[in-house]
Amino acid sequence: MVRNQQPLNFNHVCNESRESGGHPGNSQNLCVSHTFNDIARRLQEEMTANRRLLVVVYHFPPVRVSSGIQRTLKFCTYLRDHGWEPLVLTISPRAYEVSSPDQLKEIPDDVIVERAFGLDTSRHLSFRGKYLNYMAQPDRWISWWPAAVWTGMQMIEKYQPDAIFSTFPIATAHLIGLSLSKRSRLPWVADFRDAMIEDGYPQDPLTWKVHRRLEIATVQQCARAVFTAQPTRDMYAERYPEFPASKWACIENGYDEDNFLDAETGLELIPLGKPGQLTLVHSGILYPKERDPRAFFVALSRLKIAGVINADELQIVLRATGSDDLYRPQLVALNLQDIVRLEPAIAYRDALREMLCADGLLLFQGSVCDHQVPAKIYEYYRAARPILALVGPEGISATMLREAGIEDQANMADAQQITEMMSVFLNKLRTGKASGVARDFAMRNSRRSRTRELARLLDDLMATRKLR
């Protein structure tokens, strides 16, 4: 869509060619040449200039969550460099269980952000902590849907975006994208990131059925479906063979160099623990199934009983697990509360600083998520600290880490394997033989490059629609 553009004036173009020094005898040829050049230029402008993208996203500042917030935030930061103006439709901050203003400053000043009313069913619509299951379908933020559709249609009328982009999780964001696309007939890019449903996920049968219906409707309506790992993209292509290969795309997550440079400013790279004490850090959510740390806890208990580790020599920080109340009794039962610390969420800049100063970084990803990649893995690359990866041995995370030179891996579900690898990893740290990912490898995974990939996908979508 071209805005505020004057129609082509052939006479004006011819006059410009003569005034610019063209030979009188060749004025006609010059006129034709300049005319076609001008047409080409105008067409190029029409293809790239002033395009707008309506972005439907739940995880957006001021919410304080794991690194998953960074994907959409950085898309909105760098899209302008590629001819796209983001218009953000998000939820009212009261819906967030944990929020902080620290990342609000990262939203570009000229990016329009509209916040539609929405509540968290578990906190705002429950009675004595209980609520009806149907009130949280497809998720606890379903109350966002009606207000967001109304606000989104107002934004579409006012700003005339060229396309819609919604990102999962949460599922309600795709429900909003679906509704807006149907009403406006604008092309819609559905950013799934990971699979919406799998065998046994979501665990609740009703939620699984609702997600399944929403997934089918999303795939049918969206112009492009985007995933963060190639195996997930391939899985969906096999799940829905009736659609062409062009419908499916992979845009990986990444890290933001500017965030790391900010975190490194004035930072003294001193150990987190006291002298002689190693500190291992996991930063972000530990899902009870997908990133279950119980086998890890058992391994630590065995090492403690054997005298291999103790609180004076080892501290493990599990930062913002999201399930502290579940894990705390487990740690007490295994007598690990002096070694493992469950710490609250902190500002993103401080979390990066903690990664940079840690002796080692922990990664959890179970076999149930073999086709998924944790977003934090790219930040771990850039932090350049040694990594102990507790992952499914056949999964994409294990493969990626091996390609990055990380060989300290164990099956997240195998306590004996973790026990053995943990002993090896700690010995490497103590003897200075452990290393992180090489800087040149990490640099291939910047958020800027990922945004360029998204812009190319959007440009291709627009070009395809023009040819119809």
User: What is the spatial distance between Cα 227 and Cα 218, in angstroms, rounded to a whole number?
Assistant: 14
In a domain, 1, yes or no: no
Is the same domain home to 157 and 225? yes
Q: What is the pTM of this model?
A: 0.80
Q: b/e per residue, 367-396, with b = 16+ CB within 10 A?
A: ebbbbbbbbbbbbbbbbbbbbbbbbbeebb
Is the same domain home to 197 and 54? yes
Q: 344: left (phi > 0), else alpha (psi -120 to 50), else beta?
A: beta
Is the same domain home to 200 and 92? yes
Residues 285, 289, 290, 292, CA torsion sign: positive
Is the same domain home to 277 and 164? no
Residue with structure tokens 């790391």?
260
pLDDT for position 13: 32
Q: Give the chain's domain count.
A: 3
User: What is the spatial distance between Cα 211 and Cα 205, in angstroms, rounded to a whole number?
Assistant: 10
- The sheet with strand 278-283 has its strands ordered as 340-343, 314-319, 278-283, 360-365, 387-391, 409-410
Angle at 257 between CA 256 and CA 259, to 5 degrees: 70
pLDDT for position 421: 97
Q: Dihedral, CA atoms, 291, 295, 301, 306, nearest 10 degrees?
A: -130
Report which of 439, 429, 436, 430 is spatially closest to residue 406, judged by C-alpha positions: 436
In a domain, 2, yes or no: no
Task: For residue 56, list its beta bridge partners.
Answer: 89, 166
- Average pLDDT for 315-326: 94
**Whether the predicted pLDDT of 240 surpasses 50:** yes
pLDDT for position 42: 52
**Whether the predicted pLDDT of 268 surpasses 90:** no
Is the same domain home to 69 and 198? yes
Residues 241-267 pLDDT 10s: 999 999 999 999 999 999 999 999 988
* Tokens of residue 58, six digits: 């739940």
User: What is the spatial distance between Cα 427 and Cα 66, in angstroms, rounded to a whole number?
Assistant: 30
Is the same domain home to 266 and 357? yes
Segment holding 238, helix H or strand E: helix 230-239
* Tokens of residue 422, six digits: 């943990």
- Average pLDDT for 283-292: 89
Instruction: Provide the pLDDT confidence category of residue 318 given band limits of 50, 70 and 90.
Output: very high
Angle at 265 between CA 263 and CA 271, to 5 degrees: 70
Is the same domain home to 160 and 284? no
Is the same domain home to 355 and 431? yes
In a domain, 109, yes or no: yes
Beta strands in 221-339 (DSSP E): 224-227, 248-250, 278-283, 314-319
Range of the domain at 441: 258-445
Residues 135-158 pLDDT 10s: 889 999 999 999 999 999 999 999
pLDDT for position 67: 66
In a domain, 5, yes or no: no
Is the same domain home to 123 and 248? yes
Beta strands in 157-257 (DSSP E): 163-167, 188-193, 224-227, 248-250
In a domain, 4, yes or no: no
Relative to beta strand 278-283, strand 51-56 is unpaired
In a domain, 231, yes or no: yes
In a domain, 415, yes or no: yes
Is the same domain home to 204 and 240? yes
- Average pLDDT for 374-394: 93
Report which of 113, 52, 116 is spatially closest to residue 86, judged by C-alpha positions: 52
In a domain, 3, yes or no: no
Residues 385-413 pLDDT 10s: 999 999 999 899 999 999 999 999 999 99
**Whether the predicted pLDDT of 14 surpasses 70:** no
Residues 29-39 pLDDT 10s: 434 444 555 55
Query: 51, 19 in Cβ contact below 8 A?
Result: no
User: What is the spatial distance between Cα 393 and Cα 413, in angstroms, rounded to a whole number?
Assistant: 10
pLDDT for position 132: 85
Task: For residue 356, list its beta bridge partners.
Answer: none
pLDDT for position 272: 86
Relative to beta strand 360-365, strand 278-283 is parallel
Is the same domain home to 71 and 149? yes
pLDDT for position 199: 85
User: What is the spatial distance between Cα 112 and Cα 108, in angstroms, rounded to a whole number?
Assistant: 9
Is the same domain home to 426 and 416? yes
Tell me how far CA of residue 106 lies from CA of 86, 111, 189, 259, in angstroms. 14, 11, 24, 9
Return the CATH number at 180.
Answer: 3.40.50.2000
